Amino acid sequence: MNDFNRSFGAQGRAMDMSTDAGLRAFMLGVYNKLALGIALAGIVAYAAGSVAPLTELLYGTSLRWVVMLAPVGLILFSSFAMRRPTPAGSAAMYWAIVVAMGLSMGLYFAMARIGVGGLSHMVIAKAFFVTAATFGGLSLFGYTTKRDLGPIGTFAMMALWGTFVIGMVFFVLPMIFPGLAFLQSNTMQLIISGGFALFSAVLIAWQTQSLKEGYYQFGGNADAMAVATNWGALNFFISFVNIFQFVLRMMSSD
């Protein structure tokens, strides 16, 4: 899922942002933190899915429920509990979600290792590069467009939350009513994953524009910029993961 989307948008563009060195440095900081987060999540996922004893512990015992639900729990916690985040608190939350997401995605490497579900390390690599290219294009569009993406971004965020609720219902109901097991079919999971990917794609462009505009609201406040860097990287990271999971599903179903 995507996160709660902490937006830092401004209402106007009072400066020529295209030539502002401070803005470029700020955005580069967000992208660098995102890249480090993706790298760490990938390392954690590979280790979790490739080291046999660790794989068995994480996915072969009741601990798997903690691993699978921890990212959602942390995202919800950060959404509703951290209303006044500090630089240290927002950074800790970012890295905690990165590690939790990496552990949950280790299952892909475990499946690739034994060759099930149409997964292989090559498929995972291809899905990653497709996602990276998609993210880059969407973020570049959000950075350069003159169109106000606020209305469509707000709609996408609400729609993504709706998709999350539907996904949770489809996950829980079959456990209570076995006759509804079809709700957990591959087709339904692909549709839900596609919804996450579609709305996350819109949010990437919107979040980029919001960060770009919000930079001027900080007025040089180092703490505010640090928090914005952490939340911006977190928004991007979760959107990246949503799109990656959909692309991986599509490629592994070929």
> For 103-162, what is each residue's pLDDT tens digit?
999 999 999 988 887 899 999 999 999 999 999 999 999 999 989 998 888 888 888 888
Domain annotation covers residue 4: no
**Helix, strand, coil percent content, the chain, rounded in steps of 5:** 80, 0, 20
Per-residue model confidence (pLDDT) at position 221: 84
Report the domain count for the chain. 1
185 φ, ψ (degrees, to nearest 5): -65, 160
- What's at 254, amino acid-wise? D
Domain annotation covers residue 8: no
Domain annotation covers residue 78: yes
Structure tokens at 60: 């072969």
Domain annotation covers residue 215: yes
- Cβ(109)–Cβ(51) below 8 Å: no
Residue 169 sits in which domain range? 18-252
Cα–Cα distances (Å) from 88 to 79, 95, 223, in that order, read 16, 11, 9
- Cβ(230)–Cβ(3) below 8 Å: no
Domain annotation covers residue 2: no
pLDDT in tens, the chain (254 residues): 444 444 444 444 444 544 478 888 999 999 999 999 999 999 999 999 999 999 999 999 999 999 999 998 998 888 777 678 889 999 999 999 999 999 999 999 999 988 887 899 999 999 999 999 999 999 999 999 989 998 888 888 888 888 888 887 777 766 777 776 666 677 777 788 888 899 999 999 999 999 988 888 876 788 889 999 999 999 999 999 999 999 998 888 65
Structure tokens at 115: 């060759």
Q: What is the CA radius of gyration of the chain?
A: 19
Domain annotation covers residue 186: yes
Per-residue model confidence (pLDDT) at position 17: 43
Domain annotation covers residue 89: yes
Domain annotation covers residue 12: no
Per-residue model confidence (pLDDT) at position 183: 64
